Amino acid sequence: MRYERAGVPAAATRIVIGVLMTLGIAVTVVVGAPAPASAAASCGAFGENGTLEATGVSCAKARSVMRYAEAHDDGNAPRGPKGWKCARGYPDAPSMAAGFTCRRGRARVIVRYREQPCLQGAMGDCLVRPKRLFATVSDLDVDRLRWRSWGGKTATATGRYHLRKMGTDQVTTGRATVTASGRKRCGRQLRYSRFTIRMRGRTHRFGPC
């Protein structure tokens, strides 16, 4: 006879085993069987085109962690809340732009995005949610960009512009709004082919890719 001890008080277990052995019945005791690893839970949609997955943490906490990571993404690597380590991509991701993974101990949170378009500035790099854009032809750049949307037909952000007057050291600064549009394929990459910078009643347009 096979006797499972899991969930049975220790004293009761000893009494039952003693009675069975007195009667000459063979007993096999299974002690401390490891609990199965918790499965990942689907937490539904995240942002415009992402899905959220959580292991070892509630969906509410998972959303909080990922919102923090996205808000503290410098374009290369996201920074998680205290105690969490975050990185771009996830196991089997088709590209680093496909999502984020954040971990703390055995807890794990993943955001999986559909293919993400990138935006190419004057420096040649094509980045996802860049924190800074250069438009060297007009001696204009915008930094401290905070993207309110990304991945759809258009993407919008606010930031601070720096405009240098040609032939002088004079620089003016102020608040700017950036809109990326013209989502299409350029070679093998999905890109926003145009972007517009609006500042103090002036508009600068750049593109195509």
Q: In this predicted model, what pLDDT tens digit does every residue of 75-131 receive, in sequence order?
A: 667 889 999 999 888 877 666 667 889 999 999 999 988 777 888 766 666 788 888
Give domain limits for the chain. 1-33, 41-113, 118-206
* One-character DSSP codes across the chain: -EEE-TTS-HHHHHHHHHHHHHTT---EEE--PPPPPPPPEEEEEETTTEEEEEESS-HHHHHHHHHHHHHTB-SS-B-PSTT-EEEE--TT-SSGGGEEEEEETTEEEEEEESPPPEEE-TTS-EESS-S-EEEGGGTEEEEEEEES--SSS-EEEEEEEEEEPTTSS-EEEEEEEEEEEEEEEETTEEEEEEEEEEETTEEEEE---
Taking only the tens of pLDDT, the chain with its 209 residues reads 444 444 445 555 565 555 445 555 554 444 444 444 467 789 999 876 789 999 999 999 999 999 998 888 766 678 899 999 998 888 776 666 678 899 999 999 999 887 778 887 666 667 888 888 887 656 888 999 999 888 888 999 999 999 887 777 788 899 999 999 998 887 767 888 888 999 887 888 877 66
The pLDDT value given to residue 40: 79
Do 142 and 132 form a contact (C-beta atoms < 8 A)?
Answer: yes
Position 8 scores a pLDDT of: 47
Cα–Cα distance measured from residue 134 to residue 140, given in angstroms and rounded to the nearest whole number:
6
Alpha carbon distance 32, 20 (integer Å): 21
Threshold 0.75, pTM exceeds: no
Residue-level pLDDT at 76 = 65
Distance CA 173, CA 165 (A): 11
Look at residue 98 in the predicted model and tell me its pLDDT: 74
- Output the pLDDT for position 149: 86
Residue tagged 């008080």 (tokens): 9
